Structures are given as C-alpha cells and as structure tokens.
Structure 1
Amino acid sequence: MFFIVAVIASVIVYYVIDLVLRSLKVGNITGKHVFITGCDTGFGHLAAIQLDKIGFFVFAGCLTEDGAKLLSEKCSSRLTTVSLNVTSTESVEQAVEVVKEKLPPNTGLWALINNAGIIGLLTPMEFCRKEDIFAVVNVNLLGLIDVTRHFLPLIRKSKGRVVNTASIAGRLAMVPVPYTVSKYGVVGFSDVLRREVCKQGIKVSIVEPGAFMTATANVEKIMTDIQNAFDRHSPDILAVYGGPDLIKKMHDHFDSMSGWCSIKLYLVVDAYVHAITSRFPRIRYVVGTDAKWVFIPMSYLPDFITDFILARAQS
C-alpha cells in the first residue's frame, strides 16, 4: 500500500514541477525575431498573426503574393512578408538575405517555425507514382531540412529555437504513404538535430497535430487527384482495392471531414507560441483530442493489434 501511495505521490510531484517549469517565460519578447514558413493559410497564417499581436517581429514566408498581401493587411508593421518556396534552395537563400538585411546589428533569429507542408495524394500506395511521393517529401521534409540548415547560423547567434511541424502520422503509420513517410522523416531529423545543437544553446521542438481542417483539406482537389490516380491504372488493380466502391467510400469519407477534423486551429498555434516563449519548451507537443487519446495510445499497442485496427479502418 505504501509503495502505491509513494508512486502516485511521485507522479503528482513530477507533473506539478513540470507544469511550473513549462510556465516560466523568456524575457524581452518585443525584441525577438521569428521566421515562419507556410504563412499563406492555415496554422502558419494564424501563427504569424498571433506572434505579431503579442509583440514579436515576424518574418512570414509566403508562397504566393495573394497570401502575403492578405497577411500584411491583418498585421502591424512588425511583420514582414518574405517570398519563399521551401523546395527551392535559391528561394531559401534569398529569404535568408532578406532576414539578415532587416535584423538589427549583432542580432540573431530567435526562432524558426517550420510550418509549410502539403498532404499530397491520398490513395493506397500502389497508386502513388515516384513523383507523387517526391512532391510531398520535397516540401514536408527536404524543404524543412534545407530551410533549417540555412537559418541555423542566425538561430545559433541568439541561442534560439527550431520548431518543426510533424504530425501524428509521424508516430503511427497510416495512409497515405507519401505524407506518412515525410512526417516520420521530420521526426527523425528533429531528434538528430536536437542532439546535435543542444550544446550550442539551441532548443528543438516537434509539434504533432492530429486531424485539423486546414486549407490542405480541400475535398474537391483531394478527390480530383484520387480519381486521376485511379484512371492511370487498370481496372484490375482498382478492383483489388474495391473498385468503384472504393471511390465512393473515399468520397464519402473526405466529404465528411468537417465531422472528424478539428476546426480548433488555435491549438496548434498555441503549441508554436509555447515552444518559442517558454524557458523550458517541450520536446514534443501532441495536439488534438484524436492525437492525444486515440493515436498516441494506439502507437504503444503491440504491432499486431495496431495492424488489426488500422487495416480494418483503412479498408
């Protein structure tokens, strides 16, 4: 009995200490500069607005002129939009030069939030071409690595933060293959980077959202891409996966996204904010009810049980 009480007390003490430490904030937010990728829409767009609002100087990487214009209209003069295509090293290098020119003398970059990402083709693996997989990996993983590599000297200068957006699909492998492969890569890269730069005073955090209703969840585009992928293959291959019934099931599934995707995008933004404002940021931020209470617990189950559940869910 005493042992059980001691264990419970130890757990409570641990979580209280953890809560107190995580609540401690860094000072002088108004003098710090942050770079965010993928600010045209979604999490990045909202994060840029929120960080500008609380006093950060924000460099917002935008892929399109329309996205940059819309964001600028919502923010103060502390925010600077920067043209950025994370798949182009030339574009990344130009973005770094813009930041260097605008930073005050002898000032580094406090934080880099790697938010840019795409979901890609949502079909069984057999329907994914090499270029379909590369398109997603190029943005979600290779682009993230390239941006981090180029901005790291500026982050080192301020002993700042790197925040990488992964996904719950980086912990629990699910359809689609391109997205899951890219997010597992983000988690692996982040773990290695964190261990490499910890002695330089740089902290690396991973944000792992569940299912959220963002601009990447465009049902019409998703279904068009799926139909095009199916049309490229013979009916015999499609029949293996259910034929016309598969198309209907997928359409119904994605058409009901609003029912199972969270619209609380601010939860991910809150994780970004905490990761760059806490003196002791978390290594991992699992965000979303589904991620916390379904997918993370499932990831600890024996593989044969997880396979049984997901194979039937995905069919």
Structure 2
Amino acid sequence: MEGHNDGDLQKEFDKRRMKRSRTTRRYNARLRLCLSLYLFLLGSATAAAAVYGPQLLDQQPTSGWSTYISGAVGLLCMYWLLQICFPRWTWNGYGFVIPIKKAVLVTSCDTMLGYYLVKRMDNAISTVFAGTNNPEGELPKKLSVECTDRTVILPLDVTSDESVARAKEIMEQYLKKRNHDFWGIFNNASVTLRGEIELTPVEVFKQAAEVNVYGMVRITKAVLPQIRRTKGRIVNMHDMYGRFSVPGCAAYAMTKYAAESFSDALRYEMHQWGVKVSVLEIDKLFAGIHDVISVQDSWDGMTETARRHYGKSYHDDRMACWEREGKAGDNDLRPIVLSAIDGLWSRIPRERYYVGGFKAQLKTYFYSTLPSTMIDKLIMRQYSPGVEQPAALTTH
C-alpha cells in the first residue's frame, strides 16, 4: 500500500490540497450566508422597533443610538446564552474539523457497521485504521480492495493485551512514516446475545463482558495518550439496554450499563484535556452492528435442575424467538454512520447521539425514569414469555 514514487505523492498531495480548498470555500460560503441573513433580520427588527415602537407605545421617539446599543447588547446576550446552552449553534461549533494529517481507528470492521464507516471515511480522512479480528475475512478483504491506501487493515483483538500492544506499534509506525497525528477512535467492537439467566452459562456472561466492557477499556487506554496530545475524539457504541433491561437480555444489558458508566467518567476526566467523548445510543434494532454470540448449545451448559424446570421445548422456543428477532433488524445503517462521523469530526460534538427516531428516544427516557412498578407492567406486557411455558409450570 505504500509503494508510490515522488511524482505520485506530489500529485496526491496537490489533489488533497485542492479538495481541502474547495471544502473550506464551501463552508465559508455557508457561514457568510447564515451570518448575512442573521444580521439582515436583526437590522430589520431594530429598524422596525425604532420607527414603529414609539407609536405603538404612544411615547416620544427615543434616540436612535439607544436603540442600536440595546440591539447590540441583546445580540451579545443571546450569543452568550447560545455559547453556554447550545455551543454547536455558535461560530465555534460550526462545521467540521479539517481531517488533514489525522488518523482514526475503527474497531470491529468484521461487521457491516465498521465496513460502511471505513468506506465512508476512506476518501476524506488521511489515515483510517480498520481493526479486525480476522484480516482474511470477507469484509476486511473487501475493504482492502475497494479502499485507497489511506485505509490500513489492522489485526486487532480487543480482548488480548498482546494484540492491542502489537496494533499500537503498527499504528505508530504508520503515523511516523506518514507524519500524521492520531485523532480519534470509534469503539465499535461489541457482541450481542440473548438468553434468560438460567439458560445462559456463566462463561457466556464473561465472554460478553470481555468484549463489551474490558475490550473497550483496553483499547481506549492504549490510544488515550495520543488522543490527549491532539485533543481528539472518542466515540463509543452503546445501546438502549444500557439504560434499562428486559427479559432475556441480562448478559448483554449488564455490559452496556458498565459501558455507560465508563463513558461518563471518561468524558468528565478528559474535559480538562480538551478531549471530546461521545456515545451512540442505539434506540432501535439494527442488523449487522454487532458480532453475535450463539447460545444454541446452552442446553448442555444448564444444570440438571434448570433442565427439569424449564424443559427442552421452552428452551428451543425461546432460542428460536430471539434468533428471529435478531434477523428482523433494520439494514439501513446510515443514521449510525452519520452520527459516528459527526462525533469524530464535528468541532463541538454531542455528548449523546440518539439513533432510532424520536419515538424510540422517548421510550428509552421513560423506561429509565418512570417508577419501577409502572415499568415492570409495561415491560412484562411487551416482552411476553412466548408460546411455550416452562415445564414446571405446565405440570400442575
């Protein structure tokens, strides 16, 4: 991927410089348009107040300077309030950071979400490290063929200290060779599973926590010094089940609860360094965003007492139901990809990106704030046990 002569490098540099110039001109044009429109509306309102205000109030005309001064003070106060409450709407929060000589890491590019995100950033970012457990897999191979030399396929297993250390060395070599700075990370590595607590072996609980919690902590700590140095970005993948849990989701939800706590603490601690930490709250069922842990063989891991009380029919019915639910997710991953890009490159990113629509956002909010007695009734009504019942309940 690095085999270029000096002429090719110069052409590539000129091409990037022209593209950056066009992007800068486009952003400046939009900014001037918005500012001109805002000043025009402010001037019109000030003129209308100066001409018609005294007549409406049946008072003597006041000095024009007092009107202009009051308008200017009002403008400054409004901008000050926007800066405090809605900084993304101000001058400093407009547009994106220019991604020149900056590198980002996307973990778990074995999934469709990681694949689409890397492809989206390949033509705009100087260097994209595509972390993958299996570089010979289908999606990593497609990335190596379809992307430019800006994308580096990076062998990375977030559950292994040795793999993370080796990946860090490889990234440092590329960054030094290309004279780029490490800007941010998108923690996409995550596994999902469904299964009731007595139907799920303890080893599966540990496996989910090793990826969803300790894997995120491990890779984030590895790159954190470089991100602090560049005042970069950290974006973590979360889920609505990090705010509330449902039947059959304990092993997965408990890891997302832990991930929420980790991201909140990291955001507070990194504030003094100028590092922005964002999370993606996925409030909708999407397909292809996680690796899936299969627990179809969980029957063998159950105790004899649990087998006797639940029965094979109930076990198979629940597993089939959860498998159908996983395949019924939305395949349109563009909302997640756009939110991840905004979190990585916006001048002032959001602390939380709610993906899934306003209805799903309200559901997450109410389920995590309403009284438990009310939530229990809603959840038990929505998440019914299924067709089959445990054997111990049907024998009486």
Structure 1 position 19, deviation (Å): 6.0
Equivalent pairs, count: 297
Q: Tell whether the 8 Å contact from 1:262 to 1:288 is kept in structure 2 after alignment.
A: no
Structure 2: gaps (5+ residues): 1-77, 386-396
Relative to structure 1, the CA distance from residue 131 to residue 276 in structure 2 (aligned partners, 3 Å threshold; closer, same or farther) is same
Judged with a 3 Å threshold, the aligned counterparts in structure 2 of structure 1 residues 157 and 241 are, in CA distance, closer, same or farther, namely same
CA distance in 2: counterparts of 1:97 and 1:217, whole angstroms? 26
**Aligned-pair distance for 1:288?**
1.1
1-structure distance, mates of 2:255, 2:376:
20
Moved more, 248-257 or 282-291: 248-257
2:173 aligned residue: 101
8 Å contact kept, 2:101–2:180: no
Q: Is 2:357 the partner of 1:285?
A: no
| Residue in structure 2 matched with residue 255 of structure 1 by the alignment | 324
Does 2:183 align with 1:110?
Answer: yes
Per-residue deviation at 1:151? 0.4
C-alpha separation in 2, matches of 1:255 and 1:130 = 24
8 A Cα contact 1:213 1:258, kept in partner: yes
CA distance in 2, matches of 1:234, 1:33: 49
Q: Which residue of 1 aligns with 2:287?
A: 213
Matches of 1:101 and 1:183 in 2, distance apart?
33
What per-residue deviation string (whole Å, max 9, x for no partner) do you get for residues 74-128 of structure 1? 21111111100000011001111111111147753111111011113x1111222
Which TM-score applies when normalising by structure 2?
0.68
Identify the match of residue 233 of structure 1 among 299, 302, 327: 302
- Deviation track 1:212-260 (CA, whole Å, cap 9, x = no partner) reads 1116476xx74xx23x21343367535655762453254145325454x
Given the alignment of the two structures, is residue 168 of structure 1 paired with residue 168 of structure 2, yes or no? no
- The reply to whether residue 270 of structure 1 matches residue 343 of structure 2 is no
Matched, 1:35 2:105: yes
Q: In 1, Cα distance between the equivalents of 2:373 and 2:181?
A: 48
Shift, 1:42, TM fit: 2.0
| TM-superposition CA deviations, 1:143-176 (whole Å, max 9, x none) | 1100000100111111101111111111112232
Q: Is 2:242 the partner of 1:192? A: no
Q: Which moved more, 1:101-110 or 1:194-203?
A: 101-110
Secondary structure of 1:136's match?
helix
Q: 1:195 to 1:17 in 2, by over 3 A?
A: closer
- Identity of matched residues, %: 29
Contact 2:88 2:349 in 1 (8 A): no
CA RMSD of aligned residues (A): 2.7
Compared with structure 1, are the counterparts of its residues 30 and 285 closer, same or farther at alpha carbon in structure 2 (3 Å cutoff)? same
Deviation at 1:313, TM superposition (A): 3.1
Distance 2:128 2:105 in 1: 6
1:141 aligns with 2:213: yes
| Distance (Å, rounded) in 2 between the aligned partners of 1:138 and 1:313 | 30
Aligned AA (2:298): A
Structure-2 separation of matches of 1:95 and 1:63: 11
Contact 2:183 2:233 in 1 (8 A): yes
- CA 1:98 to 1:215, structure 2 compared with 1: closer, same or farther past 3 Å? same
Distance 1:249 1:119 in 2: 16
TM-score (norm 1): 0.84
The correspondence of residues 58-77 of structure 1 with structure 2, limited to 5 A, is: 58-64=128-134, 65-66=136-137, 67-77=139-149
The 8 Å contact of residues 168 and 286 in structure 1, kept in 2 or not, is answered as no
SS of equivalent residue, structure 1 residue 164: strand
Q: Which has the higher contact order (CA 8 A, sep 6+)?
A: 1
User: Using a 3 Å threshold, how does the CA distance of structure 1 residues 240 and 307 change in structure 2: closer, same or farther?
Assistant: farther
1:7 corresponds to which residue? none
Provide closer, same or farther for how the CA distance between residues 73 and 303 of structure 1 changes in structure 2, counting only shifts above 3 A: same
Structure 1 residues 5-20: aligned runs within 5 Å: 17=86, 20=89
Q: Secondary structure at 2:279's aligned position in 1?
A: strand
